[in-house]
Structure 1
Amino acid sequence: MVFLKQLCISSGSVLRRYIQTSSRRQVELTSIRYPGVKRGNYGVVVDNDIATFERLIPGRVLTDSLEGYNTDWLKTCRGASQVVLRPKSTEEVSAILKYCNEKKLAVVPQGGNTGLVGGSVAVFDEIVISTQLMNNIISLDEISGTLVCQAGCVLASIEDYLSEYKLTIPVDLGAKGSCHIGGNVATNAGGVRLLRYGSLHGSVLGLEAVLASGEVVDCLSTLRKDNTGYDLKQLFIGSEGTLGLITAVSLNCPQKPQAVSVAFLGCESFQRVLDIFKESRHKLGEVMSAFEFMDSHSMVVAKENLKLKSPIGDFPFYVLIETSGSNGSHDEEKLSQFLEHVTSSEIVQDGTVATEPTKIQYIWSIRERLAEGLLHDGYCYKYDVSLPLSSFYGLVEAMRERMGNMVTRVIGYGHVGDGNLHLNLTSPEYSSEVMKKIEPFIYDWVADQKGSISAEHGLGFKKKDFIYHSKSKSAVRLMKDIKRTFDPNMILNPYKVLPDL
């Protein structure tokens, strides 16, 4: 299976030496870009610690060439970890965390390092515990569709494995070739299939996690129904590694669709996007698996930065609809009737349908590669929010008006089917002036509309101080109590998710 890298380091002179010895331009250290964050009262890795780690996991302790582990995928956050640990088993993770907890050494769980909110890399010198070698499929029940695997399995590799048994994974992300299922669960990743299969809170049947103390919490059930006591696994789903390190998961995997079709449509306004969505729910119903939208500014990114061509003409807005089911002719007939209706009603101005895998993949690449295309501009200010559909695109328009020529572009795209907007602004390089113009205005706007400041990317490091825009003080206080119960020494992914710890 394929995996990304991960990392760790220390502090003080080590940080300065790490910067000075770099031969090429690096991302600014998170601790410098965000000077208000102070290092906690944690231990510093010394030679004796490295020797202990070598005894625990011989040959799998990394202490050099760690830049890839220290820098997040967006190249917006960079830590200064000095050591990366790569365990292969739950027992090894347990031994590592037990030792780190006793020494009060802070750690960062890291999967494929594809997160977008700075949650998977160190802020200072936390030790990175990588799951990249924990990549075994443990079991598969073909009849029930229940898969049990280690946390380091890459999402695309799981999908390929399941395909041989005519099953599929219930989550699909643009980063599926790199992200790990453990990281997906830890962040409650959403993706384009949520409209069809729901969130991971429903698809995860069980999990295994290791607490900061080294205690293993075995909730690795494969049952669809288990109504005994508190559903503890739900606490770990979306906790972003702050309560425990997920080492294995049990998933409910649906049947793989036998037929898939994609429609790519152009329309004149966002209201028309909503009209198309309303009609698609009514006429496509059970076969609709995804409903995505892009604005014209997104298409410019695809054309100019990614050199992709639109399959239809130029329009203010675009819609991508995917249908999937067990009867191709039936699904295609429903899709054709739907397109005939929305076209004759002048809701849609133009469109095309793809049923061949290569054409379907190409159309999806226009949508899924936008995050990559935005990085060509320099720096990307990326926001992932949930909003009522009545005010969904209003945020993009408000930010475009507010930012003016301070930024290169403002684009909006995302999952209309579940109310998840991806708002992105770019500039040649990071600017604190631009950031101050964006935040907290954007979060205030979302809060005024009764939305959520994070739809699927989590809070990580970047959003933790804005949690009160979406959660009450009493709710956050209870979250902090849970954190202290699970991790009294606060060594698990510090500076993330919750403020003022």
Structure 2
Amino acid sequence: MLKSAINCVKLHSKICVNLQSIRCLQLTPDYTQNSYKVTRGNYNLLKDRHVDFFQSLLGKERVLMDENDLERYNVDWYKQVRGKGQIVIKPKTTDEVSKILAFCNDNRLAVCPQGGNTCVSGASVPVFDEIILCTDLMNEIIHLDENSGVLVCQAGCILQNLNNYVSEKNLLLPLDLGSKGSCHIGGNVSTNAGGLRLLRYGSLHGNVLGIEAVKADGEVIDCLNTLKKDNTGYHLHHLFIGSEGTLGFVTKVAIQCPTQSKAISLAFLGLNSYEDVIKTFLQAKLELGEILSAVEVLDTPSMELVNEHLKLNSPIGNHNFYLLLETKGSNEEHDQDKLNKFLELVLNKKLVVDGTATTEPTKYNAIWSIRERLPEAFALDGYVYNYDLTLALEDYYKLVSELRDHVGDRSHRVFGFGHLGDGNLHLQVSAIDFSNEFKDYIDSFVYKRVKELNGSISAEHGVGFLKAPYLNLVKHKSSVSLMRSLKNLMDPNGILNPYKVLPY
């Protein structure tokens, strides 16, 4: 029987997890240069004269060199990789970024761009001793055009802060991530982050209208267009979206923000099989249509994880699979009627065993927290090998089952969850600690199967350092060759985020 708790609410706020606050819960990994077979590039070492230049430009307070200050910039929050960066530089303006990169290029100093450092592919931390160029202080909101809904801001603005700002004007960011309390919009753009709202609002390639970026030689590329339609020449700003700081350092972003919905509902459903999950999703697209805004799926081990470590319980008891379906629209009565008819239909068809639906803020946030706090539970579950994949829906959960059989008792938990609406699977393997041998054992199996299933080895988290060696496996050599040509053209000395994206 459906447990209904439908009430009226116009706005909502999801529980935000500051991912950086839980990074300390896992052991610090060994240095990347010790754990992986990678050779340091032909870059110069940091000298006193280099430090003198940075301090004269920014002041000593914006140039960090104390070992205690550096640690959090050298380790990713998943505790997968660890660099030996000796300096963190914090510019405030595009002009400062331009002068820094021009100096680094002239002196052949490798640079690692970094935002909120919530990346899970190892893109945002050094591999060796690269200079860390951090956007922490580039956090100015420049302009919001309320008529068009276009927001212009610096790259270091925190995603949650931006969403809070535009919500005062009845708008919202078309991007929603579990790391929204820490991640920077520049990093989101640089990795082409996806998240919970992609089903409704599309990718950042569609929502980012313009970008200002600085090339490796210090030249400022002004593509900060704010028009939704501008068909003049090459759309150069798309080069920087998803390039993970390897082609240029993003300094400003223009992004379109849709209007807030007046009526928002959330259903949490329990199902017996993945086959029923797919049938329910297809029924939801048919019955809910334009008001369907998010579809998330969790398996039993995922629910057990948040229950064990965070004491979060399923509001409908235990089931093999769980679906979260969110709707957003402009007419509460109309939307609730559609949702109720859909729920009645899937219950009568026995696709759904049980469920609950609500728009009451406390219950709404509590249900969403089960999904959004999953990464927080990772940090309490040993070492987690994580994979961010896109697969056809018929293969989506097949890979989870196959990997569970493949690793056997070498792990204590294999679980899968993600954005069912766009085929994005987050596949995780928990083990006691990190092992290169075990990682290679998982990687070779997962990436080979993804290729066989015509999937993608990176759905929304980028290639970074960890997946770069596998790019040749899943991309045609002509595509990789063109990527290298673009890299050589825009960064001939290779100083921007070396060892990332392209195979090293």
Aligned to 1:312: 316
Aligned to 1:17: none
Aligned to 2:463: 459
Aligned to 2:94: 90
How many angstroms apart in 2 are the aligned matches of 1:371 and 1:445? 24
Aligned to 1:19: none
> How far did residue 341 of structure 1 move?
0.5
Task: Give the one of 296, 299, 303 matched to 2:300.
Answer: 296
SS in structure 1 at match of 2:384: strand
**Paired amino acid for 1:56:** L
Contact 1:387/1:419 (CA < 8 Å) preserved in 2?
yes
The share of aligned pairs that are identical, in percent, is: 55
Cα deviation 1:160-202 (Å, max 9, x = unaligned): 0000000000010000000000000000000010000000000
Aligned to 1:30: 32
Task: Give the one of 202, 213, 231 matched to 1:209.
Answer: 213
Task: Give the one of 121, 135, 138 matched to 1:117.
Answer: 121
Mapping of residues 4-83 of structure 1, within 5 Å: 26-34=28-36, 36-58=37-59, 59-64=61-66, 65-83=69-87
Contact 1:4/1:112 (CA < 8 Å) preserved in 2?
no
SS in structure 2 at match of 1:156: helix
> How far did residue 413 of structure 1 move?
0.3
Aligned to 1:447: 451
How many angstroms apart in 1 are the aligned matches of 2:335 and 2:176? 21
Distance 1:272 1:192, change over 3 A: same
Q: Which structure carries more relative contact order (alpha carbon 8 Å, separation 6+)?
A: 2
Contact 1:4/1:111 (CA < 8 Å) preserved in 2?
no
Runs (4+) off by over 4 Å = 2-5
> How far did residue 3 of structure 1 move?
9.6
Contact 2:18/2:180 (CA < 8 Å) preserved in 1?
no
Aligned to 1:266: 270
Distance 1:384 1:342, change over 3 A: same
How many angstroms apart in 2 are the aligned matches of 1:330 and 1:72? 45
> How far did residue 326 of structure 1 move?
1.5
> How far did residue 4 of structure 1 move?
9.1
Mapping of residues 353-392 of structure 1, within 5 Å: 353-392=357-396
Contact 1:132/1:152 (CA < 8 Å) preserved in 2?
yes
How many angstroms apart in 2 are the aligned matches of 1:393 and 1:113? 29
How many angstroms apart in 1 are the aligned matches of 2:189 and 2:474? 21
How many angstroms apart in 2 are the aligned matches of 1:288 and 1:182? 28
How many angstroms apart in 2 are the aligned matches of 1:465 and 1:491? 19
**Paired amino acid for 1:60:** R
SS in structure 1 at match of 2:449: helix
Distance 1:228 1:87, change over 3 A: same
SS in structure 2 at match of 1:319: strand
Contact 2:19/2:179 (CA < 8 Å) preserved in 1?
no
SS in structure 2 at match of 1:314: coil
How many angstroms apart in 1 are the aligned matches of 2:472 and 2:41? 22
TM-score by structure 2 length?
0.94
Contact 1:452/1:469 (CA < 8 Å) preserved in 2?
no
2:264 is the counterpart of 1:229: no
Aligned to 1:163: 167
How many angstroms apart in 2 are the aligned matches of 1:109 and 1:435? 26
Distance 1:157 1:383, change over 3 A: same
Contact 2:412/2:430 (CA < 8 Å) preserved in 1?
yes
Aligned to 1:152: 156
Cα deviation 1:57-113 (Å, max 9, x = unaligned): 113100012101111010111101110000000000000000000000000100000
Mapping of residues 466-485 of structure 1, within 5 Å: 466-485=470-489
> How far did residue 291 of structure 1 move?
0.3
**Paired amino acid for 1:475:** S
Gaps of 5+ in 1: 6-23
SS in structure 2 at match of 1:321: strand
How many equivalent pairs are there?
480
Cα deviation 1:445-495 (Å, max 9, x = unaligned): 000011011100100000001112321000000000000000000000000
How many angstroms apart in 2 are the aligned matches of 1:468 and 1:386? 17
How many angstroms apart in 2 are the aligned matches of 1:47 and 1:185? 34
Cα deviation 1:234-281 (Å, max 9, x = unaligned): 110000000000000000110011221100000000010000100000
Aligned to 1:328: 332
How many angstroms apart in 1 are the aligned matches of 2:307 and 2:99? 50
Give the alignment's Cα RMSD to 1 decimal: 1.3
